[in-house]
Chains A and B, each alone.
Chain A
């Protein structure tokens, strides 16, 4: 069964006819060709498909496509400013917080949400915050380092 939906992805409005059983992940990857949203466990366990749904991080593999009718979605592409990398992405590069890269877009969306919504956090809170994003290279130390470096960018006004 096909369902008409209207949704805003990275500030662009799309009118789509979606198959009801498709997920938000399917639509982003296969329909809109946004390949940064990674297909991982498809059970809400790994966080590789994390996107912001109306400003909040969710696993896009758990959301049926018709459920995003009227919603706004942001992926890492939405953080770019005229193709310029976001300071958060720069922090990931500078701190070697990327190994194989599979978890990276999901981790970045979660980090973006945490940094924008929690003015202060302890290391433990940060670790718990990214608990829903698995890095199978186990590169967590560098990821934590990068998010803390990004916080400094944000606090000094280098942010959008």
Chain B
């Protein structure tokens, strides 16, 4: 077969490895420290490799972790849900454990890409690709999720808030792999909501997406968590808005003001999907809607 048959956007020559054990994968990573790419679903790597040779230089060692069973699971113990990094987005979407205990993650998963993409893409890939618009990030951020990063010489458990460093950037060092996402389960009295705004109703990248989690006690915001995607170099927590709302009486004006504070915390850019101005406005609108919906779910009532 020649390149002619494969079209102009053929994938360059690669050295392919398909470890079946995590230890084997970690050994490969430490061996090819300077020139490897980890692949699982391929939904980000393959288009990137076709767009630019810089994304996948010739003879890169491609380490395929998609068939490592130790990285593919959803379990619950005590009060933590654990998701293996190579778990498909489509499995998260339908998992009874996730639908019951962390519905906003199931919501975000069900709106990510198309069915074809969700059947290939993984949660680890969505996080490690570190797109500011990664849809699983805002729900995981409000849930105070942690990620386990493993290298041949050890592992570290890091809050997701510290994982992203910029568009496409994470704190992963060469030889390290994200193995697990840990999500503490919040008490059932908390209300939560995920809203995604794209240019289409389905199979679309986020212009803005927001996740919120709210606990209400005696008509007062007891705990408020807000995360936004696609409006800053990384997915972010709107900590000032959270601080503003916590301790406030639950009311429409308070929610409105809280959403305004959240919109002041974003740092969006103009791009092909939307202008920065629109993103900032929508950060306010969606945050307001998501907090209101969360309050309702938490059994709280708004006083006017």
Give the nearest-CB partner of A69 in chain B: B18
Give the nearest-CB partner of B16 in chain A: A20
Bound Cα distance A50, B118 (Å):
13
Q: Can you list 17 A-B contacts with CB-CB less than 8 angstroms, sorted by A residue number? A: A1-B14, A43-B47, A44-B113, A47-B116, A58-B116, A62-B46, A63-B42, A64-B11, A64-B39, A66-B18, A67-B67, A69-B18, A110-B116, A128-B201, A131-B115, A131-B200, A132-B117
Bound Cα distance A44, B119 (Å):
12
Binary flags per residue of A100-117, CB closer than 8 Å to B gives 1, else 0: 000000000010010000
**CB-CB < 8 A to B220: which residues of A?**
none
Give A28-56 interface residues, CB cut-off 8 Å to B.
Answer: 30-31, 39, 42-44, 47, 50, 53, 56
Q: A30-B6, A57-B115, A128-B202 are in contact. Are A64 and B16 (CB under 8 A)?
A: yes
Residue contact A67 to B116, C-beta cutoff 8 Å: no
Bound Cα distance A62, B62 (Å):
14
Q: Is B84 an interface residue (CB 8 A)?
A: no
Residue contact A59 to B117, C-beta cutoff 8 Å: yes
New contact pairs (5) apart from A20-B13, A64-B39, A64-B64, CB-CB < 8 Å: A22-B1, A22-B11, A30-B6, A43-B50, A59-B117
Residue contact A39 to B7, C-beta cutoff 8 Å: yes
Q: Is B283 an interface residue (CB 8 A)?
A: no
Q: Is A129 an interface residue (CB 8 A)?
A: yes
Residue contact A44 to B5, C-beta cutoff 8 Å: no
Question: Could you tell me how many residues of chain B have their Cβ less than 8 Å away from some Cβ of chain A?
Answer: 36
Q: Is A23 an interface residue (CB 8 A)?
A: yes
Q: A44-B46, A131-B203 are in contact. Are A67 and B1 (CB under 8 A)?
A: no
Give the nearest-CB partner of A23 in chain B: B11
> How many whole Å from A35's CB to the nearest CB in chain B?
12
**CB-CB < 8 A to A85: which residues of B?**
none
Give B157-205 interface residues, CB cut-off 8 Å to A.
Answer: 200-203
Bound Cα distance A61, B47 (Å):
9
Bound Cα distance A30, B54 (Å):
27
By CB atoms of chain B within 10 A, which of A39, A59, A129 has the most?
Answer: A59
Which listed residue, B9, B90, B115, touches A42 by the CB 8 Å rule? Answer: B9
Q: A42-B9, A56-B119, A131-B114 are in contact. Are A62 and B64 (CB under 8 A)?
A: no
Residue contact B119 to A21, C-beta cutoff 8 Å: no
Q: Is B300 an interface residue (CB 8 A)?
A: no
Bound Cα distance A61, B116 (Å):
11
Q: Is A3 an interface residue (CB 8 A)?
A: yes
By CB atoms of chain B within 10 A, which of A22, A63, A64, A129 has the most?
Answer: A64
**CB-CB < 8 A to B14: which residues of A?**
1, 20-21
**CB-CB < 8 A to A57: which residues of B?**
115-116, 119
**CB-CB < 8 A to B18: which residues of A?**
66-67, 69
**CB-CB < 8 A to B200: which residues of A?**
131
**CB-CB < 8 A to B67: which residues of A?**
67
> How many whole Å from A152's CB to the nearest CB in chain B?
22
